[in-house]
Amino acid sequence: MNNNYEVDSCDKLSHQQDEFQPPTELELAIREIVKAEDRLEHVTETVTFVEAVGGKVRIPRTMASIATDQPGISLAGLGDHEFKTFIEGPLLALFETITKGERKPCRPIRTTSRLGQLLEPSYELSRLGQRIIACCQLYQSVWSIAYVNHVFHPTVTVMLRAMRTYADVIKRHGEPGVQVTQQRALVVALQRLLRFVRRVAKDWRFINALRAHERQEQDNFSSARDFLYHQAGAHSKLLILRIDLYFKPYYDVQRADKAVHDFLRWLRGKACKRTLLPGYLGFMIKRENGLIRGMHWHLMVVCNGNEQRSADFLTRQLGEHWMRRTGQGPGAFHNCYPDRKRYLFNGLGLVTLDDVEKLAGIRAAIWYMSKQDCVIKATSNKERNFWRSPIPRQARQKLGRPRASSDPLKLVQRMLGGKRSKYPPGFAPVHPVHRQPRLSGQVASVSEPACWTEGGGE
């Protein structure tokens, strides 16, 4: 679907220079695309399919079972989900609060009895100290053992180490909502946790690790974008297929890696192009060994949209072939195409080079695929968690009739350009501040926001 967004001349808006301008229609559409991708990511990472055996489904990591007449059921809210919610919510928010300033967790106060006698030293907890106590109350000590082989974001690694060292003491002596304490052990633990986090956050080893992590994410994003640029330059229509592949048992990493490499070898081979994907152009894939899903991959396949269009059928056939090759049962794959009915836009199916919404959806998809999430290290060697089809060094001469536009990739580069972000450059949500209007006489073909920046932001 192509929408032509029109905007009025900025001469009509010059008198509103000092007023906040509401988001344009295109900005609102892109925000809906990002929200849809976030919801899809949440479902993909938190819902797991469990097969039924003898009419019963056993809940993972427990002895409890659920009776069902279905091949299996989808479960959410498991222990891994609780841990994932903790590290992505309260834990990361606490790191930002701790490193943002030099506030202290408490201050000493003098307390006296009714007879005027000095009582034991007391301390008034600051808002920061109370947040630390609340976060420690959510932490479970068994997590330090259950996820010992996982590799997390550098910030999460630092905070988990602080929780492992000080959370038990803080939980034992601290109570949420209590503002005054006489527990000296609590005060010492709070102070040491703050010193540890702030010291590590300023250490060059942490800074370099954080930069390397972010640089790898940017490299992955740029690699995926360059691949799409190349395919868009050679073909006027692209067919985008997205499928999530799962493997059980989740701890058998080496066998799972072999299975997916065999599957990709078949995908690139002549048999697949002859029987299923004659318009195959390439793929990009992200490997995850997540907290809930275990070993799984997010696969995007790009085909020539002038030759094939049945995205739902083709994606389902890819998933069924994965099931046959690996011997996995029901729930071994997730076809992302039917989800398009629940979301406004998500960059699936047939994409033309002038489709703003689909291009924004593709950007949100490759932003997610380029994330460096937590993984389980299978070996001591450096592992690759994102890769794609190579780009030919010498592209063959284009055939067919000439493009209608002199620069057909202009909109593609506009929507996918800039630094790694969910939003195209200049379309990130802004706070209600004064926005500069366009210069007099300028009219855009699409309703771009007046605030133009390189990179977009998150």
Domain residue ranges in the chain: 79-202, 217-391+406-416
Checking if the pLDDT of 403 tops 70, the result is no
Question: Which pLDDT band holds residue 98 (cuts at 50, 70, 90)?
Answer: very high
Checking if the pLDDT of 455 tops 50, the result is no
Burial label for 189, CB within 10 Å (0-12, 13-18, 19+), is buried
pLDDT at 399: 53
Q: Which amino acid is at 105?
A: P
pLDDT at 81: 72
HSE-up of residue 195 (Cα within 13 Å, Cβ side): 8
**pLDDT tens by residue, 195-250:** 999 999 999 999 999 999 899 999 999 999 999 999 999 999 999 999 999 888 77
Model's pTM, two decimal places?
A: 0.73
Q: Compute the distance between CA of residue 400 and CA of residue 335 in angstroms, rounded to an integer.
A: 33
**pLDDT tens by residue, 112-137:** 666 666 567 889 999 999 999 999 99
Q: What is the number of other CB atoms lying within 10 angstroms of the CB of residue 187?
A: 22
383 vs 385, residue with greater confidence:
385
pLDDT at 432: 47
User: What does 74-138 look like in DSSP terms, one character per residue?
Assistant: EE-S-HHHHHHHHIIIIIHHHHHHHHH----SEEEE--B-TTS-B-S-EEEE-HHHHHHHHHHHH
- Dihedral angle over CA of 420, 423, 427, 429, nearest 10: -110
Checking if the pLDDT of 307 tops 60, the result is yes
Q: Compute the distance between CA of residue 202 and CA of residue 32 in angstroms, rounded to an integer.
A: 37
pLDDT at 345: 53
**pLDDT tens by residue, 356-376:** 888 988 998 899 888 876 555
The encoded tokens of residue 19 equal 């007023």
- Residues with Cβ within 8 Å of 238's Cβ and at least 6 positions away in sequence, in order, are 228, 231, 232, 281, 302, 303, 304, 305, 350, 351
CA nearest to 283, candidates 302, 296, 268: 302
Q: Compute the distance between CA of residue 323 and CA of residue 243 in angstroms, rounded to an integer.
A: 13
**pLDDT tens by residue, 414-447:** 999 999 988 888 887 765 443 444 333 333 333 3
Checking if the pLDDT of 164 tops 90, the result is yes
pLDDT at 149: 73
**pLDDT tens by residue, 239-296:** 999 999 988 877 777 888 899 999 999 999 999 999 999 999 999 999 887 666 667 8
- Residues with Cβ within 8 Å of 82's Cβ and at least 6 positions away in sequence, in order, are none
Dihedral angle sign, alpha carbons of residues 267, 270, 271, 277: positive
- Dihedral angle over CA of 160, 163, 168, 169, nearest 10: 160
**pLDDT tens by residue, 18-74:** 455 788 887 887 787 777 777 766 666 666 666 677 888 776 656 778 888 877 776
